Structure 1
Amino acid sequence: MGGMYKGLYDFVQYFLGLGAIVMLPIVIFILALCFRIKPAKAFRSALVVGIGFVGVFTIFALMGDQVGPAAKAIVQRTGLNLPDVDLGWAPLSAITWGSIIAPFAIVLTLVINLVMLAFKWTKTVDIDIWNYWHFAFAGALVYVATGNFFLGLLGTAIAAVVIIKIADWCAPLTQKYCNLPGISLPTLSSAVFFPIGLLGNWVIDRIPGLNKLQADPVHIQKRFGIFGEPMMVGFMLGVLLGLLAGYDFKGVLSLAIYLAAVMYILPRMVRILMDGLIPVSDGVKDFMAKRFPDRKDFYIGLDIAVAIGNPAIIATGLLLTPIAILLAFIVPGNETLPVADLSNLAVFCSMIVVACNQNIVRAVIISIPCLVGDLLICSAASPLITKLATTVGYDMSAAGGSNITAFLDGGNPFRYLIYQIFSGNVVAMVIAVIVAALVFLTYKLTYKQTHPEVEAQD
């Protein structure tokens, strides 16, 4: 058993070591062949998808390279001195993949997805294997807290099932606003905030005055003309962040132009990716339609990165950067200095923006209490995350003896709730019931919004 586990572990680590840019085209190619797409067409589609992801990740990294130092400069200017170290999502994913749960999480998630598809419990074919670490992290926290391997797998399974269902739920609006036909986005770090965004949007609709504020890309461009174009919005947000960071004239202008470039180029990279993915998506739908004549609405599950090209999402993420730093300073009980994850705020807010029909004002308002929750949770979870990192042999020298955490993924409320439930916390169990009831109520209240085909018929 030990030898078999080691073989599986080594294979998974090698496969993951290829990186998402290499791994995803391989998965796409194999998937296309399984669905009877001709090899030449499958290879071309897989290659174009890889090229598209190179573009998306390159531009996304460019944004991080520019926003990260600016955020650090803003933090330094505020004089924040908090003990827990925000490593960001990348080291956290590496820690998770090093856990005993990780190799089994991949197989488990694939099996769960296939069973859900077979029983018509989902429309999502989740091929985003790299991001299975989001589910594995939930299981790893449970395992470290309880010492029970099978409870860890159960925690992983619960995370996978819930997120795949939420991906189905938000797919119509994601496709509408992010121009991603046939795609769903089962990325835990963003999907869990979709119901919160819907409920918050529903509440704001009923607040006089506030419900009149409209700031989506279409209205902004119509009102401000050329200055409302996404690249101009990026430029102005770059100026704002540069000034807050205390940059000189050159630094401010440089940051502004880089962010304008991100807003202009990123949507075009997503379009390249979709050029490669559409033939595969169509092939999957044709294959499924022959075997399931009553079903023609399968979705391909991809990384949330493909949605970040939406100008409203980028703008909201940039606006939340100084807000998150301010909150870290004033929220009682917070012990985390948010730095590394600040450049990932566009991922955090993406499904809130979609739920708000791209209304940036509403998305920022709804995101603020979510950020407060993330700060408090990532601080509370830091001892557990530090323990997990120690068990997998992660180099802790960068933390300087402090606890480590991750502002956004370490503070994700859904994972923390799973961990608390499996730890036997009765209050968490009660909260889980209340949350489930609120999610069901939100689904009912917003049914027409999340099912545009029903709204069109009315």
Structure 2
Amino acid sequence: MNILQYLLDLGPSVMLPIVIIILGLLLKQGFGKSLRSGITIGIGFVGITLVISLLTDNLGPAAEAMAERFEIGLSVVDVGWPGAAPMAWASSIGTVAIPVAILVNVLMLVFKMTKVVNVDIWNIWHMTFTGAIVSAATGSFWLGIVGVVVHSALVYKLGDWFAPTIEKFYGLPGVTIPHGTGAYMAPFAVVIDAILDKIPGVKKINFNSNKLEEKFGVIGEPVIIGSFLGVVIGLLAGFPISDVLQLGIQMAAVMVLMPTVVKFIMEGLMPIAEAAREMLDKRFQGENYYIGLDPALLLGNSQVVAASLLFVPLTIIIAIFVPGNSVLPFGDLATIGFFISLAVGIHKGNLFRTIISGTVIMFITIWIADKMVGVHTQLANNVGAVTSGQQVASLDQGGSPITFILTELFTLENIVGLIVIGAIYLFCVLFTFVQFKRKKLANDENVSEESDDIRQTI
């Protein structure tokens, strides 16, 4: 366990490359290719860290200035995933969460309950956090383990259901993203997309950064959109003109740099993912397995980056209108793209629909994060992450429906919230499952018809 904790403390930029190198060797990729893949992925994560730091260091002060300028009065600061993840790993659940999550994956594969082969060990922190919160709320270590198991099983299934979207929209065949806010919040986007398809007139509204570029030329390019959003945020924050212009250039840089650094991760991961898929196909013929990878891959899409920047001011505005909310979005503003990354693919890049579903997603996230402040602070106190009297919250995981539902199910402290959020989320998950089955059936029928046509031609 000490070795495992040591690896976790290294962070994703070192831990994941080590895992990839070992995996590459097991897949008989050779030491040279495995080493190259691992180091390339490490470079990508260092790049993402730098870009996120660029966002945090510049958007963070702008967000705080906006809150102060408009006297928002939100007293509990969102510490973001950089604050939440260490709490999860430092908890009693953190020492066993990785073996438990891997065991769940193996058992589901053996019993053919999923086709996801998860290699993204670092992001098991999401499952760990759920277990840690449940354990803190109930005082039971074993109920915490149940939290890890349930979260793991659900997101592996979500990985199955969203793999076709990831292949078609993001161009990543054989890959899925079973982790993080993007995966477990995506069912809301599925339902909203179906509803919008039924509304005359509204269903035809479709615009994205590519269409804006086609229509408005240079003005519609992602780099211009990024700089424009940066300037708007700076003006709302009341910054002097010099700082406003700097923020505009910095956000334009994010639009360019984020897809660039993600390419390094893809360059390192794809050979390993392909090798793993080929090995699985040989041993289990007829089965199409998906390699579970980091959600950072989706941030390479320009539509996701554009929507991410747009949701920085929107998330703060949404926080103002959430009834009874005390949480000020801050730490997760820089990674807001993770929350809506899969929604962008579900809406096929339609920014209009992404704004609608993203608003719903962030509203629910903030509402849950506010209700979880007490137990979140309790967990932080348990692991010594805060001083006495401080309160903490996080949007990433602290605002997770899975964590909230399990916590309330075992404590029954907020029965109304449990019923409302539980019913909405259960409906969205079941609806997503039905949609997946329908599309799979339609796809199988098309493949069968094509095979019949080929045989008749022969």
TM (norm. structure 2) is: 0.91
**In 2, are the aligned partners of 1:449 and 1:455 still within 8 Å (CA)?**
no
Question: Aligned to 2:313, which of 315, 319, 322?
Answer: 322
Work out whether 1:444 is the aligned partner of 2:434.
yes
Q: Matched residue pairs, number?
A: 446
**Following the alignment from structure 1 to structure 2, what is the Cα–Cα distance between the partners of residues 279 and 145?**
42
Any residues of structure 2 matched to 1:39-438 within 5 Å, and which? 39-295=31-287, 297-396=288-387, 401-424=389-412, 428=418, 432=422, 435-438=425-428
Change (3 A) 1:432 1:233: same
**Following the alignment from structure 1 to structure 2, what is the Cα–Cα distance between the partners of residues 451 and 280?**
30
The one-letter code sitting in structure 2 at the alignment partner of 1:88 is G
Residues 221-273 of structure 1: CA distance to partner in whole angstroms, max 9, x if unpaired?
22222222221221221122122122222222211112112112221222222
**In 2, are the aligned partners of 1:238 and 1:259 still within 8 Å (CA)?**
yes
The alignment partner of 2:117 has SS state of strand
Residues 159-183 of structure 1: CA distance to partner in whole angstroms, max 9, x if unpaired?
0110111122112212333333332
Please say which of residues 57-66 and 357-366 is displaced more in the overlay: 57-66
The alignment partner of 1:364 has SS state of helix
User: How far does residue 449 in structure 1 lie from its aligned partner after superposition?
Assistant: 6.2
**Following the alignment from structure 2 to structure 1, what is the Cα–Cα distance between the partners of residues 227 and 439?**
32
User: How far does residue 196 in structure 1 lie from its aligned partner after superposition?
Assistant: 0.7
**In 2, are the aligned partners of 1:85 and 1:402 still within 8 Å (CA)?**
no
**Following the alignment from structure 2 to structure 1, what is the Cα–Cα distance between the partners of residues 124 and 38?**
20
Change (3 A) 1:119 1:390: same
The alignment partner of 1:181 has SS state of coil
Change (3 A) 1:455 1:394: farther
**Following the alignment from structure 1 to structure 2, what is the Cα–Cα distance between the partners of residues 27 and 452?**
37
**Following the alignment from structure 2 to structure 1, what is the Cα–Cα distance between the partners of residues 20 and 255?**
27
RMSD: 2.3
Please say which of residues 301-310 and 209-218 is displaced more in the overlay: 209-218
**Following the alignment from structure 1 to structure 2, what is the Cα–Cα distance between the partners of residues 373 and 223?**
34
**Following the alignment from structure 2 to structure 1, what is the Cα–Cα distance between the partners of residues 17 and 269?**
10
The one-letter code sitting in structure 1 at the alignment partner of 2:120 is D
**In 2, are the aligned partners of 1:180 and 1:274 still within 8 Å (CA)?**
no
The one-letter code sitting in structure 1 at the alignment partner of 2:189 is G
**Following the alignment from structure 1 to structure 2, what is the Cα–Cα distance between the partners of residues 355 and 206?**
16
User: How far does residue 96 in structure 1 lie from its aligned partner after superposition?
Assistant: 1.1
User: How far does residue 100 in structure 1 lie from its aligned partner after superposition?
Assistant: 0.2
The one-letter code sitting in structure 1 at the alignment partner of 2:426 is A
The one-letter code sitting in structure 2 at the alignment partner of 1:365 is I
Residues 76-101 of structure 1: CA distance to partner in whole angstroms, max 9, x if unpaired?
21112233232222111111111000
Q: Could you say which residue in structure 2 is the equivalent of 1:3?
A: none
User: How far does residue 138 in structure 1 lie from its aligned partner after superposition?
Assistant: 0.8
Any stretches of 5+ residues in structure 2 without a counterpart? Answer: 450-458
**In 2, are the aligned partners of 1:421 and 1:429 still within 8 Å (CA)?**
no
Please say which of residues 119-128 and 434-443 is displaced more in the overlay: 434-443
> How high is the sequence identity, in percent, across the aligned residues?
36
**In 1, are the aligned partners of 2:209 and 2:306 still within 8 Å (CA)?**
no
**In 2, are the aligned partners of 1:167 and 1:184 still within 8 Å (CA)?**
yes
TM (norm. structure 1) is: 0.91
**Following the alignment from structure 1 to structure 2, what is the Cα–Cα distance between the partners of residues 41 and 451?**
38
**In 1, are the aligned partners of 2:208 and 2:349 still within 8 Å (CA)?**
yes
Change (3 A) 1:113 1:446: closer
**Following the alignment from structure 2 to structure 1, what is the Cα–Cα distance between the partners of residues 235 and 101?**
45
Q: Could you say which residue in structure 1 is the equivalent of 2:456?
A: none
User: How far does residue 342 in structure 1 lie from its aligned partner after superposition?
Assistant: 2.1
**Following the alignment from structure 2 to structure 1, what is the Cα–Cα distance between the partners of residues 177 and 129?**
18
User: How far does residue 454 in structure 1 lie from its aligned partner after superposition?
Assistant: 5.8
**Following the alignment from structure 2 to structure 1, what is the Cα–Cα distance between the partners of residues 245 and 175?**
36
Question: Aligned to 2:4, which of 8, 12, 36?
Answer: 12
**In 2, are the aligned partners of 1:182 and 1:281 still within 8 Å (CA)?**
yes
Residues 256-306 of structure 1: CA distance to partner in whole angstroms, max 9, x if unpaired?
1121121122212222222222221221122112211122x3222222112
The one-letter code sitting in structure 2 at the alignment partner of 1:360 is L
Please say which of residues 420-429 and 15-24 is displaced more in the overlay: 420-429
**In 1, are the aligned partners of 2:52 and 2:334 still within 8 Å (CA)?**
no
User: How far does residue 422 in structure 1 lie from its aligned partner after superposition?
Assistant: 2.0
**Following the alignment from structure 1 to structure 2, what is the Cα–Cα distance between the partners of residues 229 and 182?**
30
**In 2, are the aligned partners of 1:139 and 1:155 still within 8 Å (CA)?**
yes
**In 2, are the aligned partners of 1:135 and 1:188 still within 8 Å (CA)?**
no
